[in-house]
Amino acid sequence: AFHLHIRILWGLFSQDQAPPPVSESTTANFQERFQSSDDVCTHIENLVSSAMPNSEAALAAVAAVQKTSFMGRSQIAKDANRIDEGHLLIMFNAIANVGLIRWQPDVLGTVESMYNALHEHLAISTFKTVVTAFGYTFMNADLSFITNYSFLMKLYRSFVFGFMAEQARKEGKAAGGVAMENGRRNVYQRCNHLRKIRVKQLKDDGCSKHVVRLAEENEGHSEDEHDPNHDGEQYLICAKEGRNPVVSSLFHLADSRYQKAFK
C-alpha cells in the first residue's frame, strides 16, 4: 500500500515508468527554505493535519490522477483508481501547501538532504493519514506498523532510493531502458510458462524422454505462440527460428490437450 501511495504522489502508474530527473535549481530553492529536518517534519505534520481549503493545484493534480489511473491498464493504475477523491486531496493539498509544484524526490541525490527530507515526510505523513482513514482497506493494509516511523522510513528509502533510483539510472543510460528490460523479463516469463505446461503435458501423454527434452529449454519456445489468458484455443504464432515445423506442431498439440484438460 505504501508503494502505491508513493507512486500516486509521483504520478507513476506503470512499471515501465522511471522517476524523472530533478534540476539543481529546484533542490537549491528548498535547501534555503528549511534549516533542519526537524523543521521539515513539524511543518509537514501541521500541514497534513490542518483543515485548509482545496487549492487549485491540488484539484488539478487529483483530476490528473483520476484520469490517468482510469485510462491505465496496469494493476498499479487499477489500484490507484480505487482511492477516494477525498484521500487524494489530502495528499495533493499537502504538496501544494508546502510550496511544491509536484512531488518529485531527487532519487540520485543525497538521501538526507532538506529537499529529500521534505518529500520523505510528505509521503509518510500523508500515508499515515490516508491509511488510518481506511483509504487502503481494499489492499488489506496492516495498520499495526503505522505508528512505527522508523519502519516506514526504512520502507520508503528502500523503495525510493533503492528500487526507483535504479530505474532512474537505467532510464538515464537509454531512453525507454526500463520498458525494454521489463519487456525482456515478460518475454522470458511467458516462455517459461509455456515451457512448463508443455513439459508437463508431454510427460502426461507418455512421450519419451528424448521428446520431452525438446521442450525443456526456454529458448525452444516463442513467447507469443499462445495466449494463456485467453479462454479456449487461440494461437498468436510467430515462427521460432531454427525449430523444425514438426516440433512446432507437436508443441501446439500439447497446448491444445493441456487447455482441454483444464476446461
How far apart, in whole angstroms, are the C-alpha atoms of residue 146 and residue 126? 11
Query: All 3 cell numbers of residue 56?
Result: 487549485
Domain layout of the chain by residue ranges = 2-173, 180-261
The 10s digit of each residue's pLDDT in 147-185 is 899 999 999 999 999 999 988 888 877 777 677 776 777
How far apart, in whole angstroms, are the C-alpha atoms of residue 11 and residue 104? 9
CB 251 within 8 A of CB 199: no
CB 107 within 8 A of CB 165: yes
pLDDT value of residue 80? 95
- For CA atoms 77, 58, 153, 171, the dihedral sign is positive
Helices (H), 72-223: 75-80, 85-97, 114-132, 149-158, 165-173, 177-204, 209-213
The 10s digit of each residue's pLDDT in 51-74 is 566 788 899 999 999 999 999 888
CB 29 within 8 A of CB 101: no
The 10s digit of each residue's pLDDT in 92-142 is 999 988 878 889 999 998 898 888 988 999 999 999 999 999 999 999 988
DSSP reduced 3-state for 82: coil
pTM metric for this prediction: 0.67
Largest Cα–Cα distance in the chain?
Answer: 73
From 67, 129, 122, select the one nearest 94 (Cα to Cα): 122
How far apart, in whole angstroms, are the C-alpha atoms of residue 24 and residue 112? 16
Place of cell 484455443: 233
Using the CB atoms, write b or e for 197-228: b if 16+ within 10 Å: bbbebbeeeebeeeebebbeebebbbbebbee
Query: All 3 cell numbers of residue 51?
Result: 483543515
Has residue 207 got a pLDDT over 60?
A: yes
DSSP reduced 3-state for 251: helix
